[in-house]
Chains A and B, each alone.
Chain A
Amino acid sequence: MAEDQPVEFDTQGVKKRFMFVNRRAPYGSIYALEILEMVLISAAFEQHAAIVFIDDGVFQLKKGQDTSALGMKNFSPTYRVVEMEKDDANEDDDIDMVWRIIVEKESLEARGLEADDLLVGVEVMAAEELSALMAAQDVVLSG
């Protein structure tokens, strides 16, 4: 039988730069939803987070998603919670926690999309700048 005792690590005072990488469209697979759940849970840990949308991942943020004919839950409004979390974190001077929501410019343009098509405010970042940001991360979680 599995041990019931939770395994504890001492992570007091540890601050890392997390990047959550989204490269898939929503609904065709569950990765978009489950990585979003990961992002929301991570808020409680007060870490730095760059939530990045590349390739088809940009579609996760598309306005006007209507899943009614599919009978699937439209989880896109949850990105607004992420946006609120980002704003709260960035405005709170008492906590050292910076969150960014970033969309790769090349991915957006290749798919005929613009920032206005997206349901939250994002930083549209060119590959070169995003590359430098990626290189600076401590933990990269891909879905």
Chain B
Amino acid sequence: MKFGIVVNEGPFTHQASDSAYRFAVAAVEKGHRVIRVFFYYDGVNNGNKLSSPQADDRNLVKLWGELAAEHKVDLVVCVTAALRRGIKEEILADGFRISGLGQLIEMSLAADRTLVFGD
């Protein structure tokens, strides 16, 4: 099955990004496809390569990038939400790209199931 995931919150402050990530990992390990993860609202902060969590804690920004690379997951950060929050190309983490809100709707049309993780 093809899943599309929307992440409404940034890393660490809320559990949304963790929950979405754990779901995505479980899904691909079961042989499903996560076709896109769309980061909206504060979720755009998941694409900030400057995020430096403590060494003994999970690095969500990197984890998302690794998932994208290993399982061909398209990580999209919404351009309007990103601009508001100062997320620009120059600080975008590996595996992420910035694009328009239409990519969320398109994802929902292409996916068999769309999930939202937020606050």
Contact = CB atoms under 8 A, between A and B. Distances in A.
Direct contact of A and B (CB under 8 A): yes
A28 B74 CA distance: 32
A69 interface: no
B95 A16 contact: no
B114 A141 contact: yes
B109 A9 contact: yes
Interface in A22-59: 30-31, 34, 37-38, 41-42, 44-45, 47
Q: In this complex, which of B92, B97, B105, B110 has the most chain A Cβ atoms within 10 angstroms of its Cβ?
A: B105
A139 B114 contact: yes
Nearest to A4: B97
B99 A6 contact: yes
A11 B41 contact: no
A34 B118 CA distance: 13
Contacts of A41: 100-102, 104-105
B27 interface: no
Contact of B106 (A11, A34, A142): A11
Interface residues of B, number: 28
A139 B108 contact: yes
Q: In this complex, which of B35, B41, B95 has the most chain A Cβ atoms within 10 angstroms of its Cβ?
A: B41
Nearest to A44: B102
A6 B74 CA distance: 9
B54 to A, nearest CB: 26
A53 to B, nearest CB: 17
Contacts of A143: 8, 41, 118
Contact of B104 (A38, A44, A140, A142): A38
Interface of A: 1-4, 6-7, 9-11, 14, 16, 18, 30-31, 34, 37-38, 41-42, 44-45, 47, 139-143
27 contacts: A2-B94, A2-B97, A6-B97, A6-B99, A7-B36, A9-B35, A9-B106, A9-B107, A10-B110, A11-B110, A18-B105, A30-B41, A31-B41, A37-B80, A37-B101, A41-B102, A41-B105, A45-B105, A45-B106, A45-B109, A140-B116, A141-B104, A141-B108, A141-B116, A142-B118, A143-B8, A143-B41
